[in-house]
Homo-oligomer: A and B are copies of this chain.
Amino acid sequence: MPSYTPPRSSQPPTGVPFELSLSTHPSTPHHRSSLTPVSFLLRAALITPRKLAIDHPERGYGFTYEQWATRCLSLAFAILSVPGFKAGDRVAVISPNAPLIADAHWGIPAVGGIITPINIRNTPKEVAYVLEHSGSTIILCDHEFTHLLPEANGKVKVVVSKDSGGQDKNDEYEHFLDQGWQAWQRAQQAELDKFKSRTKPSAEPKTGWKLLNAPLDEEAAIALCYTSGTTGRPKGVLTNHRGAYLSAISNAFEANITADSRYLWVLPMFHACGWTFPWAVTAALGTHHTIRKVDNTVIWDALRNHGVTHYCGAPTVQIGLVNHPDAKKLDHKVNVAVAASAPTANLLAKMEGLNLHPVHVYGLTETYGPFTRRYFEPEWAKLDVDARARMMARQGHAYLTSDEVRVVRTDSSTTSTEDLIDVERNGKETGEIVIRGNMTMLGYYNDPSATSKAVMKGWFHTGDLAVRHPGGEIQILDRGKDIIISGGENISSLMVEQELAAHGDVLECCVIARAHEKWGERGHAFVVLTEQSKGKKGKEFIEELRKHCKGRMSGFAVPEWFEIVEELPKTSTGKVQKNVLRARFASKL
C-alpha cells in the first residue's frame, strides 16, 4: 500500500494523548477487570503501533494497529451518535471478509452494542427474518450486498460501505466514521475544557479510548449470531464478553498464533464471529489478511507470496484448494484449523504434501466456534496416513478454557430425575455431546422455548451423537437425524463417509438413509470423484467401491446404493445438505 493514506478517522491523533485503555467503573475493585476482547486491540496498538494490523490487498488498503485502533474508536463514536442507540442494541453487519466486518468486532462491543453478523449467502427473505428477529437498529452493509437490505422504513439506520478505506470520497461508511471521529473530538474537547481552567491538576482529562467504559458486567452480551438451520427458522445465539475473551485466548493458544503470524481470512467472519479469530489474532499481535471471496487463486497467492501462516476452513474448502492448479508445496508451514468434519486420508496426505498442516477442531455457533481439539499424540508419527487420518478424525478433548465435554445417554436428558448419565467410555455406546461453562452461549435470543430445549439440567445439548473413547476423547457419529437405522443397527453415516472417502478416486461423498424393504433403512452413497478419476463409472467401478467399504466396516453398514455425482448440494456455510438429498427419495417410500 505505498500510495494509501488513511482518512482522518483512521489516523492516530497528534497533539492530544491517545489513550489506549478503556475506563474502569469506579465500583470495580482494584484486583479485578472485566474480561472483554476489546482490550486486545488497545493493547496491540500500544505495544506495536506501527505493525500492519489488517491488510486488504484486493482494494489496496489496510491499517497499522494504531490506525486501526483509531478507526474503530471512530466507529464506536459513530454508533454512539446514532439517535436512540443505547447499550444492548443490536448492530447488524452484512459484509464479506473486508475491514468493515473486522472493524465491527471492535467498534460495536466497545459501546455495549451487540454485533449481529448476517450470512451473506442467505436469501433476502432469510436476512429480513434475522434483521426483524434481532431487532437490529443499525445495519452496516457492504456495497455488493445491498440487495439483501430490507426496504427503508426510517426506523433502522443503514450505512453502506464501498470498501474503499476512504479512497472513494463518496463512501458512506467512511462518512459515518468521519462523523464518529468528529463526535469523539467534541467529547474529548469538552473533557479538555473542563480541566483547562484548573490551576492545580487533581485528575486528568480523558482522551482517546478512555472516553469509553469497559463493560461493568463481563457477562453482558457481545454478539448475536444466527445459525443457518437446515430445518426451521434460524436461531440467534447470544454470547458474552467473558466467553469471547476466553475463547479468543484459547484459539490463539491452541493455534499457536504469535506476533509473527499472518492469518488469512478464508473462514467468513459472519460465521460465529469468525470463531473469535478477529479477537484471537489481535490478542497474539498478529496480522489479519482479508479476502472478499474464497477464490483459490487468491488464496494460493496469499499463501505463497504474502507469508500467510494460519487459516481456518471446512474440508470442502480444503478440497478445492489442494486440487487447484496453483497448488504447489509451500516453503513454510501453514497451520490450518479444520472443522465441520475431519480431513479424509486422501485430503490429509495432499495437504501435508503442500505443507498445510491441519489441526482438527470441533464446535458450534453455540460454543463460540471450536471448543474441542484433537490433540496430537506422539505415537501417530509411526502410523501410515490412512491410520493417522482415522485417529485425527476424532473430535478430541476440550480446549484450554472450556469445561470437559461429556457424552450422555440420550434418554437421560428428559427421563432421569437428577443428572445426565454419561455413556461408557468404550468407543461404542452412543450418546449426545453436551457442554457447559465459559465457552457456552448465554441462550437463544428471544426464544426461551428453544433455549430450554437446548439447555437441560444445566448443560447445553449439541444435538450431535457421539461415542467417548477410553482416552476420554469424543468422536461424533452423526447428527441425530443423519443416523441410518438398518435391521436394528445404528449406522453412523459419518463413519461410512470417512471410510469411503479413503478410496483414492473419491474427492468427497455423502451417505444418507434410504428406505429399504427388508432392513427398514440402508445407506445410499453420493460420490464425487477426483479430477483425475472423472469419468470412472460402470458396474465394475461400483463393485470396487463396495469392496473397499466391505474391508472397512460391518456388512450392514456398507451402502446398498452408490451414485456418482458431479457435486453435492451445500448450505451457505458449506455444509452438505443431507435433507436435500433425502428429499429425492422421500416420495419413493
Interface residues of A (CB under 8 A from B): 17, 20-21, 24, 26, 28-33, 35, 39-40, 42-43, 46-49, 201-204, 219, 240, 242-243, 249, 252-253, 256, 258-259, 283-285, 375-377, 397-398, 400-401, 403-404, 412, 416-419, 421-422, 425, 436-438, 440-443, 455, 458-460, 471-473
User: Contacts A31-B438, A39-B403, A203-B418 given; 17 further ones with Cβ under 8 A?
Assistant: A17-B425, A21-B403, A24-B403, A30-B455, A31-B240, A31-B436, A31-B441, A33-B403, A43-B397, A47-B397, A47-B473, A48-B377, A202-B419, A203-B419, A204-B419, A249-B249, A256-B258
- Are B21 and A404 closer than 8 Å at their CB atoms? yes
Residues of B within 8 A of A459 (CB): 30
- Are A243 and B403 closer than 8 Å at their CB atoms? no
Residues of B within 8 A of A441 (CB): 31
A–B pairs, 10, beta carbons within 8 Å = A24-B403, A30-B455, A33-B403, A42-B404, A43-B400, A47-B375, A47-B472, A201-B412, A203-B418, A252-B253
Instruction: Tell me, rounded to whole Å, the shortest Cβ–Cβ distance linking A62 to chain B.
Output: 17
- Are B31 and A201 closer than 8 Å at their CB atoms? no
Q: How far is the CA of A349 from the CA of B472 in the complex (A)?
A: 47
Residues of B within 8 A of A258 (CB): 256
Q: 4 nearest interchain CB pairs?
A: A203-B418, A33-B437, A203-B419, A202-B417
Q: Which residue of B lies closest to A404 (CB)?
A: B21
Instruction: Tell me, rounded to whole Å, the shortest Cβ–Cβ distance linking A241 to chain B.
Output: 12
Q: Which residue of B lies closest to A401 (CB)?
A: B249
Oligomer copy total? 2
Instruction: Tell me, rounded to whole Å, the shortest Cβ–Cβ distance linking A397 to chain B.
Output: 5
Q: How far is the CA of A210 from the CA of B202 in the complex (A)?
A: 53
Instruction: Tell me, rounded to whole Å, the shortest Cβ–Cβ distance linking A175 to chain B.
Output: 31
Instruction: Choose among B418, B443, B458 the residue that contacts A24 (Cβ–Cβ < 8 A).
Output: B458
Q: How far is the CA of A484 from the CA of B33 in the complex (A)?
A: 36
Residues of B within 8 A of A473 (CB): 47
Instruction: Tell me, rounded to whole Å, the shortest Cβ–Cβ distance linking A489 to chain B.
Output: 24
Q: Which residue of B lies closest to A203 (CB)?
A: B418
Instruction: Choose among B203, B204, B375 the residue that contacts A259 (Cβ–Cβ < 8 A).
Output: B375
User: Known contacts being A32-B438, A33-B403, A33-B437, is A421 close to B43, with CB within 8 Å?
Assistant: no
Residues of B within 8 A of A437 (CB): 30-33
Q: How far is the CA of A419 from the CA of B40 in the complex (A)?
A: 24
- Are A43 and B398 closer than 8 Å at their CB atoms? yes
Q: How far is the CA of A401 from the CA of B219 in the complex (A)?
A: 17
Main secondary structure of the interface of A (DSSP, over half): loop
Q: How far is the CA of A220 from the CA of B326 in the complex (A)?
A: 56
Q: Which residue of B lies closest to A419 (CB)?
A: B203
Instruction: Tell me, rounded to whole Å, the shortest Cβ–Cβ distance linking A392 to chain B.
Output: 15
- Are A404 and B31 closer than 8 Å at their CB atoms? no
Residues of B within 8 A of A259 (CB): 375-376
Q: How far is the CA of A576 from the CA of B471 in the complex (A)?
A: 50
- Are A421 and B203 closer than 8 Å at their CB atoms? yes
Residues of B within 8 A of A48 (CB): 375, 377
Residues of B within 8 A of A20 (CB): 404, 472
Q: How far is the CA of A442 from the CA of B397 in the complex (A)?
A: 33
Residues of B within 8 A of A243 (CB): 31
User: Known contacts being A253-B252, A404-B21, is A203 close to B416, with CB within 8 Å?
Assistant: yes
Instruction: Tell me, rounded to whole Å, the shortest Cβ–Cβ distance linking A555 to chain B.
Output: 33
- Are B204 and A421 closer than 8 Å at their CB atoms? yes
- Are A471 and B422 closer than 8 Å at their CB atoms? no
Q: How far is the CA of A418 from the CA of B439 in the complex (A)?
A: 38
Q: How far is the CA of A204 from the CA of B30 in the complex (A)?
A: 41
Residues of B within 8 A of A421 (CB): 201, 203-204
Interface-centre pick from A404, A418, A440 (highest chain B CB count, 10 A): A404
Q: Which residue of B lies closest to A442 (CB)?
A: B31
Q: How far is the CA of A202 from the CA of B471 in the complex (A)?
A: 25
Residues of B within 8 A of A412 (CB): 201
Residues of B within 8 A of A42 (CB): 404
Q: Which residue of B lies closest to A250 (CB)?
A: B249
User: Known contacts being A30-B459, A46-B397, is A422 close to B204, with CB within 8 Å?
Assistant: yes
- Are B375 and A33 closer than 8 Å at their CB atoms? no
- Are B46 and A472 closer than 8 Å at their CB atoms? yes
Q: How far is the CA of A421 from the CA of B204 in the complex (A)?
A: 6
Residues of B within 8 A of A204 (CB): 419, 421-422
Residues of B within 8 A of A249 (CB): 249, 253, 400-401
Residues of B within 8 A of A401 (CB): 249
Q: How far is the CA of A80 from the CA of B233 in the complex (A)?
A: 52
- Are B438 and A33 closer than 8 Å at their CB atoms? yes
Instruction: Tell me, rounded to whole Å, the shortest Cβ–Cβ distance linking A370 to chain B.
Output: 15
User: Known contacts being A33-B403, A204-B422, is A436 close to B21, with CB within 8 Å?
Assistant: no
Q: How far is the CA of A422 from the CA of B425 in the complex (A)?
A: 58
